[in-house]
């Protein structure tokens, strides 16, 4: 019996070594290896980007608008607070994302595009929930990062989760700290996004 047990566990070891060998082979073929940060102070990659939301105003900005409400606020929202918390309103966007605060000038490619949606999700106050993909298609970066989280707009900063990525950001995970940089009326706001990745394949 003891002999059998030994044989079975040593064959498991052989199998494990074989599988490890396969994994190492795959990593070598791709040339990239997984890096997991040891502490919150040591992200494996970080970047600051600006998200520009130009909401369609229904009048004269159709040429420049990159976001549009897809639903109206719910009846509950308007009954509860006539001033409007927009509870239930969904906005779909394909917004430019830049490395500095300025909007891209005509014809210039932004650093990335943010493609996704937010909806207002609090009855008592104006607050939103976001889910979107940062699509990178520049000479520096090609790939995507997927972000999601609650945008508690009353807070000075809030965190979105970076739940995954592709291309240059293959299997990335991390946290994006969001700060409202500017709000101009109802139809334009800019968010600063400090993105820190804690798991990277480089």
Ligand X SMILES: *[C@@H]1O[C@H](CO)[C@@H](O)[C@H](O)[C@H]1NC(C)=O
CA 102, distance to chain mean position in Å, is 21
**Does 139 interact with ligand X (rule: CB under 6 A)?**
no
Residues from 68 through 87 that contact ligand X (CB under 6 A): 81, 83
Chain length of the chain? 202
Cβ distance to ligand X smaller for residue 39 or 83: 83
Position of tokens 């989760």? Answer: 161
Q: Exactly one of 64, 71, 125, 157 binds ligand X (CB under 6 A); which one?
A: 64
What are the residues whose beta carbons fall under 8 Å from the beta carbon of 32, sequence distance 6 or more? 170, 201, 202
**Does 1 interact with ligand X (rule: CB under 6 A)?**
no
Cβ distance to ligand X smaller for residue 11 or 125: 125
Cβ of residue 106: shortest distance to ligand X, in angstroms? 7
Position of tokens 């490395």? Answer: 99
Cβ of residue 111: shortest distance to ligand X, in angstroms? 13
- How many residues interact with ligand X (rule CB under 6 A)? 8
Backbone angles phi, psi at 117, to 5 degrees: -155, 160
Q: Is 167 exposed, middle or buried (0-12, 13-18, 19+ CB in 10 A)?
A: middle
Q: What is the DSSP-derived secondary structure letter of residue 51? A: E
Residues from 21 through 60 that contact ligand X (CB under 6 A): 59-60
Identify the bridge partners of residue 97 per DSSP, sorted by sequence position.
51, 112
**Does 5 interact with ligand X (rule: CB under 6 A)?**
no
Cβ of residue 131: shortest distance to ligand X, in angstroms? 19
How many Cβ atoms from other residues are within 10 Å of residue 65's Cβ? 19
**Does 137 interact with ligand X (rule: CB under 6 A)?**
yes
Cβ distance to ligand X smaller for residue 2 or 60: 60
Q: Which residues bind ligand X (CB under 6 A)?
A: 59-61, 63-64, 81, 83, 137
């Amino acid at each position: 019996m003891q002999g059998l047990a030994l044989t079975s566990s040593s064959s498991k070891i052989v199998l494990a070594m074989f599988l490890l060998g396969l994994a190492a082979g795959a990593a070598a073929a791709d040339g990239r290896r997984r890096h997991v940060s040891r502490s919150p102070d040591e992200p494996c990659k970080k970047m600051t980007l600006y998200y520009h939301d130009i909401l369609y105003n229904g009048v004269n900005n159709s040429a420049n608008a990159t976001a549009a409400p897809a639903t109206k606020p719910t009846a509950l929202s308007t009954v509860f607070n006539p001033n409007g918390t927009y509870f239930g309103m969904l906005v779909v966007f394909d917004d430019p994302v830049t490395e500095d605060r300025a909007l891209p000038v005509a014809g210039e490619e932004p650093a990335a595009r943010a493609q996704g949606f937010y909806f207002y999700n609090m009855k008592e106050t104006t607050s939103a929930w976001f889910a979107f993909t940062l699509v990178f298609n520049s000479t520096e970066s090609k790939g995507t990062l997927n972000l999601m989280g609650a945008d508690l707009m009353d807070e000075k900063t809030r965190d979105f989760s970076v739940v995954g990525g592709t291309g240059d950001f293959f299997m990335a995970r991390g946290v994006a700290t969001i700060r409202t940089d500017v709000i101009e009326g109802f139809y334009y706001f800019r968010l600063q996004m400090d993105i820190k990745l804690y798991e990277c394949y480089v």
